[in-house]
Amino acid sequence: MFGFTYFAPTKVVFGKDTEKQAGALVRACGGSRVLVHYGGSSALKSGLIGRVVKSLDEAGIFHVELGGVVPNPHLGKVREGIELAKQNDIDFLLAVGGGSVIDSAKAIAYALADPDHDVWELFQGKRSAVGCFPVASILTIAAAGSEMSNSCVITNELTGEKRAYNDDLARPRFAVMNPDLTKTLPDYQTESGCADIMMHTMERYFTQGGNMELTDEIAEAVLRTVMKYAKILHADPQNYEARAEVMWASSLAHNDLTGCGNDGGDFATHMLEHEMGGMFDVTHGAGLAAIWPSWARYVYKECMPRFVRYAIKVMGVKDEGQGDEQIALEGIAKMEEFYRSIGMPTNMRELGITPTEEQILEMARSCREACGGKQGSAKVLYEEDMANIYRMAL
């Protein structure tokens, strides 16, 4: 096992009606002028933004609102937020939404702490952040885990580049999690979220070394729990307990708990999907489900012990002497079966995209560039491998 740093300072306030505590929580963090950032009009229409704003008003906190964040959030909206925040002397970013809204708020927060530089340079790898204004969230989608993570993924809509920047400076101050708020999500979004949560755990699980038994056990606990409740939600979207299990899993899957002691994880599936998301604007979790089986079949031979353990402890494959390779392949097949059972795709056709060979080569080139040349721990992937996996996933 490797040494590690674990730092998850976000205060989680979990349960029914917790959004009503927004004002008091911002106040306790020292915030006095808040940008309330959100996505589509559903947050307005449902009355959620109204309740949040009321709570801020009751705490005597100044606020301005900026909606319109789209999935795979745009740099243009980030720039709009930066301007609005500067005009209003904003000192606290409150994201009301899912990963896209939280990431957009994090990007604005980086920019406010360093007004002399263009924030996109962080995502281009040209420099590191020198600070970050405080960010917090009221979560409405269980998926990205951005509510406790140091991740931030922004898409430059002008170039089609989808890029990540990770820094502990952006770990949110608090995360309000009311499972009821996720009940209005379309099933496809709920299940994409479940696929994303699982992948955050699996990216850290399929590694060549450094694995820690306690981390593995917790990762397997997260995966089994999400699978169980994803299936329940597919049949019964209003189930509060199931919403709660998935919501809490979304945070634990990506606050680094499931990676303690390992080598940093694989994350090739995420990098491959980012290019699909940048080029075709697909739903992130569904994109991950569409590419993972091809990635798994491409790499499993080089990471056999992990695929065998996964098959047995997560997917419930019985070891009946069929041999490691067969067990590993049965585990991958059972994962595809699970994806289909909750309406998730297992390849790009089922995802609804059919990239041309030229587009595949372009995605592989861009992916290689975003990864700094190569990616992966289960198996190190180069540009050619990336293109091969895209082709397998057609």
Query: In the numeric block, which tokens belong to residue 332?
Result: 């991958």
Quick one: 219 or 272, whose CB is closer to a copy of itself? 219
Closest CA to 254 of 314, 172, 312: 172
Q: Which of 218, 304, 380, 392 binds a copy of itself (CB under 8 A)?
A: 218
Closer of 228 and 349 to a copy of itself (Cβ): 228
Q: Is 90 within 8 Å of 35 (Cβ atoms)?
A: yes
**Three-state secondary-structure class, residue 177:** strand
Among 57, 58, 217, 325, binds a copy of itself (CB under 8 A): 217
Give the Cβ contact number of residue 282 at 10 Å: 22
Show the site string, 15-44: x = touches a copy of itself by CB under 8 A, - = not: xx-x--------------------------
Subset of residues 259 to 318 that bind a copy of itself, contact rule: CB under 8 A: 260-261
Binding a copy of itself by CB under 8 A: which of 60, 87, 116, 213? 213
Query: d(Cα 43, Cα 98) in Å, to the nearest integer?
Result: 11
Binding status of residue 12 toward a copy of itself by CB under 8 A: yes
- CB contact set of 163 (below 8 Å; sequence gap of 6+): 123, 124, 153, 154, 155, 156, 274, 370
How long a stretch of residues is the chain? Answer: 394
Side chain identity at residue 19, one-letter code: E
Cβ atoms of 228 and 194 within 8 Å: the answer is no
Nearer to a copy of itself, 6 or 337 (CB): 6
Q: Write down the least CB distance from residue 24 to a copy of itself, Å.
A: 12
CB of 39 to a copy of itself, least distance (A): 25
* CB 60 within 8 Å of CB 2: no
The least CB distance from residue 46 to a copy of itself, in Å, is 20
Secondary structure of residue 20 in the 3-state scheme: helix
Least Å from the CB of residue 217 to a copy of itself: 4
- State yes or no: residue 135 binds a copy of itself (CB under 8 A): no
Which residues contribute to the site for a copy of itself (CB under 8 A)? 1-9, 11-16, 18, 212-214, 217-218, 220-222, 224-225, 228-229, 241, 244-245, 248-249, 252, 257, 260-261
